[in-house]
Amino acid sequence: MSPKIVRVSVRDVRFPTSLEQHGSDAMHTDPDYSAAYVVLETDGGLRGFGLTFTLGKGTEIVVCAVQAMTGLVVGKSLEEIVRDFRGFYRLLTSDGQMRWLGPEKGVIHLATAALLNAVWDLWARMEGKPLWKLLVDMSPERLVSCIDFRYITDVLTEEEALELLVKAQEGKRQREEEMLREGYPAYTTSCAWLGYSDQQLKQLCTDALKGGWTKFKVKVGADLDDDVRRCRLIRQMIGPDNTLMIDANQRWDVSEAISWVSNLAEVKPLWIEEPTSPDDILGHAAISKALAPLGIGVATGEQCHNRVMFKQFLQAGALQFVQIDSCRLGSVNENLAVLLMAHKFRVPVCPHAGGVGLCELVQHLILFDYICVSASLSNRMCEYVDHLHEHFVCPVVIHNARYMPPKIPGYSCEMLESSVKKHQYPDGDAWKLYPKK
């Protein structure tokens, strides 16, 4: 008997990270890393855990959106959902009344992500496998049956997707073994948040180098002189052979992005991340074209709101690194579509992580990407940020700057109930100690 979903609960969980400027960047100066945290309860007792990441204020809006969608989920059995997962995805994203609020973007799509992440977690637990392994063991036919190809068939049809997956079966077992043995390469963003002092930067770089890290991301975009100084400092710390990326978090207009980044070319960044509005496909294309002669690529995606946008970024040559996000897109279903489109265009995928639970979630997707889609590690790495993992039941395991594949069944985003209770907003103990936003 397949478990039937009998109840959906959703909670507003916030961590007061703004107190120490963790996560600070040019556009988000005081984030309180937060989550709308979903638990699916089934009649058999098995539960599924999912979340979407937020920055504090407004998390209650996402909670409200999840509640508005629970009627589409409660009463369905897992078997009924996964038998026609594409149909279920469509049901959540194309409700005739609610799609007006998106469609497939903003609050309503973040809520979809939280719910579907929990469904995938439930499925993986039911099969007794970590999510990445559930995906790796699925047939190409089954995988494509989870994808809604609406609005992307001009770039990727179901038949083409199937063909790509069938082709990538070759060498799959070896790659799986390789990952289990060595893990997936990561880079760190933890050394250089915008709010950190030089002293902090130096210390964190020193520690990271000792820990085996070779790839570093620096936040930029608030002040050019300050950026030059900070980037030189980091480049000096890490030496010429390690990799440096810079991230402006949407701070600039198109021409400003080009001139600002040109001024930072001396520190040889691999990419400039989010140079401008996440909606500006043609703007990113212009920036890509201007920066290519300097050897600097453009990376974006953490706020790219759906597969239709990623499709166009790829069509327009507007990015050289695809940064998928496990909580902004419509969960695994929509990420599968993006991984396959990126593969078709031969653009490497370097997932966005950090936040609350993003590392825990996205590691599964990038492992699947390597084993079953891209079969390449060239110019590929997954973001890593080293805080808030202690609140998860199965936190990520990093060895020698690599993500080690999770072995416990599920999608790794179950939180410790004690953490949830303490950080529930506004009544948890953590919010009795700190000032309310």
Which of 147, 67, 190, 73 lies closest to 310 in space, CA to CA?
A: 147
* Pairwise CA distance, residues 362 & 242, whole Å: 24
* Pairwise CA distance, residues 86 & 67, whole Å: 22
Q: Give backbone dihedrals phi and psi of 277, rounded to 5 degrees, phi first.
A: -50, 135
Nearer to a second copy, 65 or 238 (CB): 65
Out of 133, 215, 219, 423, the active site residue is 219
Nearer to a second copy, 231 or 286 (CB): 286
Q: Give the position of tokens 């410790």.
A: 416
* Angle, alpha carbons 265-313-168 (nearest 5°): 100
Q: How far is the CB of 321 from a second copy (least distance, A)?
A: 20
22 belongs to the catalytic site: no
Out of 352, 364, 391, 423, the active site residue is 352
Nearer to a second copy, 110 or 373 (CB): 110
What letter does residue 411 receive in the DSSP assignment?
Answer: -
Q: How far is the CB of 48 from a second copy (least distance, A)?
A: 23
* Pairwise CA distance, residues 128 & 136, whole Å: 14
Nearer to a second copy, 56 or 130 (CB): 56
284 belongs to the catalytic site: no
Distance (Å) of CA 196 to CA 161, 188, 243: 44, 15, 20
* Pairwise CA distance, residues 188 & 212, whole Å: 11
Q: Tokens for 414, please give them.
A: 């179950």
Q: How far is the CB of 106 from a second copy (least distance, A)?
A: 2
Q: Tokens for 24, please give them.
A: 């600070």
Contact 230, 192 (CB under 8 A): yes
Q: How far is the CB of 259 from a second copy (least distance, A)?
A: 13
Nearer to a second copy, 44 or 71 (CB): 71
Q: How far is the CB of 32 from a second copy (least distance, A)?
A: 7
What residue ranges bind a second copy (CB under 8 A)? 27-32, 54-58, 60-62, 64-65, 68, 94-110, 150-154, 250, 253-255, 276-283, 286, 303, 305-306, 308-309, 311-312, 315-316, 437
* Angle, alpha carbons 370-374-378 (nearest 5°): 85
Q: How far is the CB of 65 from a second copy (least distance, A)?
A: 5
* Pairwise CA distance, residues 104 & 93, whole Å: 6
Nearer to a second copy, 316 or 393 (CB): 316
Collect all residues with Cβ–Cβ distance below 8 Å to 403 and sequence separation of at least 6. Answer: 183, 184, 186, 359, 363, 366, 367, 382, 384, 396, 397
Catalytic (active-site) positions: 219, 352
